[in-house]
Structure 1
Amino acid sequence: MKQQNKSVMSEIRKIREDNDYFNEEINERIEQLQMKKIHKLEKENFKFKEQLSAMKSVPDLKIINGKDSYNVHKELFKNRSRVIADLLNSKNELDITDLHIEDSGLKIVIHYVYTGSIPKNVHIKEFENVANLLQIEFSFQELRDLQNGYHYYY
């Protein structure tokens, strides 16, 4: 009987040691994930500050789409759109007419880049098509909000 008790106690001790080890591993992993999340949030915060400072200045880029044109902030759109960044040169004018982008979709994308929201009563497909054509980059939070429908302007 004593032998069994010792064996059981030994097993319990072993389980507790394993449990402590796994708890330490879990806590370390949680800490790593938290640090990664903090770093990501700091990076997004830096981008947001850049965008805010860009919006305080006068628009310095004219995007031409057929007969329509839009005055926007070059840095803001260069940072968000890979296509615009690739097409942009030293000029402060960019003609995207050859991309055959729907004007209504372009208006929605411009509104979204500035406000982070999509006006109500617009077709989300137009936004998605233009965002895909311009290769607009979205943060993880923006993608999640778009998927969950939290992107509409109220």
Structure 2
Amino acid sequence: MPALQRIIPSRGKEFWDTLDPDNMKQVLEAVKEEFKRPESAHELHYLNTMSRGSPIGDSKPCYRDCLIFLLRGEFIIGGQGRVIDTGCAYRVKDEAWIWLCGTTTIVVMEEGEQRGECLRCTQESRELKPAERDGTRKEKKRAKKLLDEKFQALSASSRLHRPW
């Protein structure tokens, strides 16, 4: 599903152009202030790429309901194509992947019921790692199988959702 709504922040494009896209702390603080987001850092995701080749895909559970602020560059949403207006936020729903093109900096803000979903998924994987490494033979086998299934699902989803 494409970006549903473009949100133009009250601060002008000139303000956003003055920020250093490589300074994660500065960017996150400015975005939190602009969008009045008091939540903890795990509900904000800063992504910064410097790719010269094909777009880089990224999958997060929160892409099902989030706000994506584009500081620089462009990204691709399946079914919509390239999103290029920097200094704006985009409400995104029901996406599995986004693709970052070239040198791009975005901040993803979790919304609605997806708030905290990325943290929960990360914690699940972190809990499986020690079991795979230190558990009994049965626990190791189960943890390895679950981690392999997650990886296989992610790989298949990546191929399925490629925009090209």
TM-score normalised by structure 1 residue count: 0.26
Q: Would you tell me which structure has more strand in proportion to its own residues?
A: 2
> Which one has a bigger Cα radius of gyration?
1
Q: Which has the higher helix share?
A: 1
Q: Which structure has the higher relative contact order (CA within 8 Å, separation 6+)? A: 2
